[in-house]
Structure 1
């Protein structure tokens, strides 16, 4: 069974548990079989990499998917339990395409798939559309000779590669809280941070797809509370909070305050530009204006894309960018095949802080120049009408574009409203030179979005 709703803009997400699942093992098998044709795997690849996170349905869904691939005569390399960036590492280092079973930050009842081509390259949106179409057709007949499956542990190589990309020698000893949220960071943390000279305080490091402590979504403030409290309790230098599949990392300073992903992007961009003068940095449309300002001041080039890893990865490849960052705490690195990795971003922050005699709150201050609203979600009956209300109200007050949803930009502020790629929501982001101005614009836009229809 497959419902069309599971196919999102960049990946697959849908309910697999309960009385009304959106896809099941038969659907996973059909997607695996369809993938072989869409990726032309019998001709272009010696095998497909498959990994999964800790979700309850992961074993049965990933096995069914693999059986679909094997039935078409293509081999499987099963990397087992893995973070998404661990799967990206396997794809890059082995130069093979991959499929990762994860629903990232979604609740426990969900599962999903993220795909990449060989070398961790992103798939084209049209390929995902074709997978959706083929998977809903009758499954092709099995090949005369089925593929073979073997297992491979890529965690040691993943850890070695990451630790080789950041110079951590000579940094001061830091006390670090790491909240894995019962997600896959609990699997990767010991191999990476566990090897460093740190005082490491782990929270919820046992992978558990029921998420017994908090949801694996660090974008929601309530899911940061435990890490914030632990920072204060242990007088830690910072906290790292990972999402379910550990490809994102949020940072909390020594005061228990969130260092915004845009600020982290600016910090890492500055460090990378110090290493390679004149390099290109990518950010998305709703990353803080601080990022392009700092990149240009440091002699770099900036490229702005639509929100979403497909667009950022494509821009990274097209422009040979050294680094990219998004407001959602996805961080992309040229030396990681242009893919996103929360763990590598964490290592960069540790290196920057460990070489500074300042606390993180002071170190990060120069990279944060505007007051952000954070992302505010609204469920609306008619998204088009809501967007039209905002555009009409803001007409004539700033420059309008539709590169990614609706953006209105004044001299020292901007408002962006866009539809979610993964959920039935409108997302609002506002930034301004002062907190008061930001709050004024935020409240006005929210009122327009949530107004009752005429």
Structure 2
């Protein structure tokens, strides 16, 4: 089969122009139309300098195939998912590279109902059709109809925020100069918040660095603004804002793992007995919280396509990954970067407790390492070696990579889908020093097998 470097397991991502360019985008538009026969497709883009040209080329391919193309303009992946839920829309594509380096771009594709197009649901077919084509896009503007569903999305989102009659919160919002600003501007008049805006203007040159709050060096601006403005909490997003990251009232970054438990508990109060889907990297806190709230915890392989598929199968109300992807049944089982912080605000208001108090007990009960990455010569070989060293006295699970569980600590070690990188997560039952010791021990074991620090982009 013909292949292209930019086609990954769940989406399209690559350097511009050598791995992804207007020719590929145009051919993908032709391929999407041929493979799925849509009548109407919505297109959106992030703020990267190459995004508009890629969107136009994609639109040319669709329009030439007889597809009506809706141009959503600058927006986030969440808004593309929302568009795909609208009557008569048969598919939607967001042109975005999210948190990847500045010379990258990519695309996230869904069908009507926001059902993801991934490796086993058509993406490989699109890759083959795109790779085998030699067609080149025409000049000029493609036939597109400007469209926006933002007003309707704002009406949907505001239902999850605190009532205007309740306490008014001060919240720091940091889109990282990505795509979240325009939607926040539309939301702001509808919310009982005073927003402190940091790195707010969309700017494809990313003057303050690529928006990726998972990197500790990218957290200072949000943290400092929370402290400076005496805010109730802070929120930061990645470039296409399908992930959001929370900071408590002290400016402390909260690991996404604990937010999963927080949101699960809140949603189970509304829907007792519901199912909650989680990934295998860190699990004990989520399972404990869900069980205590009379819910059912269901483990799924990591990755949005797997989580969404499992949620549909289980009719789960919510799914969460420690990487700050949060999925909601009421949002077509899609990940949203807006619903989590609105729900967190509601919890703060209704409980009368600051965010730090809402999570600190859980952090103490299940201290975790956070995800640690190491490049290795060969992912499979190193995982096999670690399994050989650790599996004898523990319970092994291979849902996603290698998980080994003991009475008082556990770890998950899995490979990246796209590069020779191992990702390690360790947690314990209420013993931070044990967690840190085991983390150091595992990192030393990985180093013996050639593991090295991941070079910064």
Structure 2 equivalent of residue 216 of structure 1: 211
Structure 1 equivalent of residue 386 of structure 2: 390
Q: 1:322 and 1:205 mapped to 2: Cα distance?
A: 32
* C-alpha deviation, 1:225, in angstroms: 1.1
Structure 2 equivalent of residue 32 of structure 1: 29
Equivalent of 1:112 in 85, 106, 110: 106
Structure 2 equivalent of residue 301 of structure 1: 296
Q: 2:418 and 2:42 mapped to 1: Cα distance?
A: 24
Q: Is the contact between residue 179 and residue 240 of structure 2 (CA under 8 Å) also seen in structure 1?
A: yes
* C-alpha deviation, 1:395, in angstroms: 2.2
Q: Is residue 2:48 matched to residue 1:52?
A: no
Q: 1:29 and 1:22 mapped to 2: Cα distance?
A: 14
Structure 2 equivalent of residue 179 of structure 1: 174
TM-score normalised by the chain length of structure 2: 0.92
Q: Is the contact between residue 83 and residue 246 of structure 1 (CA under 8 Å) also seen in structure 2?
A: yes
The 1:366/1:93 distance shift into structure 2, 3 A limit, reads farther
* C-alpha deviation, 1:422, in angstroms: 4.1
Structure 2 equivalent of residue 283 of structure 1: 278
Query: 112-121 or 68-77, which moves further after superposition?
Result: 68-77
Structure 1 equivalent of residue 132 of structure 2: 137
Q: Is the contact between residue 288 and residue 370 of structure 1 (CA under 8 Å) also seen in structure 2?
A: no
Q: Is residue 2:151 matched to residue 1:160?
A: no
Structure 1 equivalent of residue 409 of structure 2: 413
Q: Is the contact between residue 366 and residue 427 of structure 2 (CA under 8 Å) also seen in structure 1?
A: yes
Q: 2:144 and 2:212 mapped to 1: Cα distance?
A: 33
* C-alpha deviation, 1:400, in angstroms: 1.4
Q: 1:5 and 1:442 mapped to 2: Cα distance?
A: 34
Q: 2:386 and 2:5 mapped to 1: Cα distance?
A: 27
Aligned residues: 442
The 1:74/1:344 distance shift into structure 2, 3 A limit, reads same
* C-alpha deviation, 1:37, in angstroms: 2.3
Query: 419-428 or 67-76, which moves further after superposition?
Result: 419-428
Structure 2 equivalent of residue 121 of structure 1: 115
- Aligned pairs (5 A) from 1:124-273: 124-126=118-120, 127-139=122-134, 148-273=143-268
Unaligned 5+ segments in structure 2 are 452-457
Q: 1:141 and 1:199 mapped to 2: Cα distance?
A: 49
Q: 1:140 and 1:25 mapped to 2: Cα distance?
A: 11
Q: Is residue 2:441 matched to residue 1:447?
A: no
Q: 2:164 and 2:225 mapped to 1: Cα distance?
A: 26
Q: 2:347 and 2:118 mapped to 1: Cα distance?
A: 35
* C-alpha deviation, 1:452, in angstroms: 4.9
* C-alpha deviation, 1:440, in angstroms: 1.4
Q: Is residue 2:324 matched to residue 1:329?
A: yes
Structure 2 equivalent of residue 97 of structure 1: 91
Q: 2:3 and 2:56 mapped to 1: Cα distance?
A: 20
Q: Is the contact between residue 378 and residue 420 of structure 2 (CA under 8 Å) also seen in structure 1?
A: no
Query: 395-404 or 232-241, which moves further after superposition?
Result: 395-404
**What is the DSSP-based 3-state SS (H/G/I as helix, E as strand, rest coil) of the residue aligned with 1:214?**
coil
1:338-390 Cα distance to aligned partner (Å, 9 max, x none)? 11101111110011112222221112234432111111111122222221221
Root-mean-square deviation (Å): 2.0
1:183-241 Cα distance to aligned partner (Å, 9 max, x none)? 11112111124532222101111111221112211111111111111111111111001
Q: Is the contact between residue 13 and residue 20 of structure 2 (CA under 8 Å) also seen in structure 1?
A: no
Q: Is residue 2:73 matched to residue 1:76?
A: no
The 1:270/1:219 distance shift into structure 2, 3 A limit, reads same
* C-alpha deviation, 1:3, in angstroms: 6.8
The 1:193/1:329 distance shift into structure 2, 3 A limit, reads farther
Q: 2:209 and 2:3 mapped to 1: Cα distance?
A: 28
TM-score normalised by the chain length of structure 1: 0.93
The 1:437/1:347 distance shift into structure 2, 3 A limit, reads same
The 1:140/1:5 distance shift into structure 2, 3 A limit, reads closer
Structure 2 equivalent of residue 6 of structure 1: 6
* C-alpha deviation, 1:292, in angstroms: 1.4
Query: 367-376 or 234-243, which moves further after superposition?
Result: 367-376
**What is the DSSP-based 3-state SS (H/G/I as helix, E as strand, rest coil) of the residue aligned with 1:350?**
helix
